[in-house]
Amino acid sequence: MNFFTTELGAMLVVIFVGFLPNEVWRVLGVLFGRRIDEDSVWMQWVQAVATALLAAVVARLLLVPSGALVALPLWLRVGAVASGIGGFLAVRRSVLAGVLTAEAVLVVGAWWLGASP
């Protein structure tokens, strides 16, 4: 029996290949992040790029869906995005509330339309 086919081997592979390399960057980010001025031009640029990337991902999911979203009509996807923004603003700018609201609209809409997931 091969070591990597056992359950212990699989867990060790996940820890050494998936978790530890990522954790190194998190620790370095915490250590060096304390010295960064949040109001600097550099951080404003980073925030603008991050916001643009997020907007691009949402636009792609909305306009060129893949997977289970293909079965849902555009009006339902647009309604889910709008309701997610509403949930975000209604609950003191909570990202969790926005995501849960949009997801609920998608699930209920898919159920109502009879679309299979």
Rounded to two decimals, the pTM is: 0.65
Residue 27, in any domain of the structure: yes
Whole-angstrom distance, CA of residue 29 vs CA of residue 32: 5
Give one DSSP letter per residue of 34-52, joined into a string.
Answer: TT--TTSHHHHHHHHHHHH
Determine contact, residues 62/106, Cβ cutoff 8 Å.
no
Indicate the pLDDT class of residue 2, thresholds 50, 70 and 90.
low
Residue 26, in any domain of the structure: yes
Full residue range of the structural domain in which residue 31 is found = 1-35
Residue 106, in any domain of the structure: no
Residue 94: burial class (beta carbons within 10 Å; 0-12, 13-18, 19+):
middle
The token pair at 20 is: 């530890």
Residue 49, in any domain of the structure: no
Residue 4, in any domain of the structure: yes
Residue 77, in any domain of the structure: no
pLDDT, tens only, 75-107? 999 999 999 999 999 999 999 999 999 999 999
Residue 97, in any domain of the structure: no
The structural domain count of the chain equals 1
